[in-house]
Amino acid sequence: MYVTIYHNPRCSTSRTVLAALRERGIEPRIVEYLVTPPDRSILERLLATLGLEPRGLMRRKEPIYRELGLDDSGKSRDALIEAMLVHPILIERPIVVTEKGSVVCRPAKRVEEVL
C-alpha cells in the first residue's frame, strides 16, 4: 500500500499516527512539511483530495493566523493558499494520503478511514 504522511515530529498526534501506521507494518513516505513545504500544485491537490477549502486545512490557533488577519472572511482563496505556502506551520497535521483517499488525522484514529 502506498502511504504518505505529512508529518511534524514535534506534534504528538502526528507521532501517534506514524506509530499506528508502523504497527500495521506500513512504512510510509514521510514528508516533514515544515522542512520541505508543499508547493502550490501539491497543496491544491491535497485540498481537492481532502474535499476542503483552504481555511478548513488551516491551524487557526497558530499566532501567525491572527497576525496575518486570516480570519477575515474577505481573504481570497488564493491569499489563504499563499499564506500556507509561505507559513507551512498553518497547515493542519498530520495528513495521510493513500490510494483510498486522504484524511487529516484529527483525531488520530481517522487514519483508519484510508487504510
Residues labelled as active-site residues: 11
Sign of CA dihedral 43, 100, 8, 52: positive
Measured CA to CA, the distance from residue 85 to residue 80 in angstroms comes to: 9
Return the H-helix or E-strand segment holding 45: helix 40-50
Measured CA to CA, the distance from residue 20 to residue 40 in angstroms comes to: 29
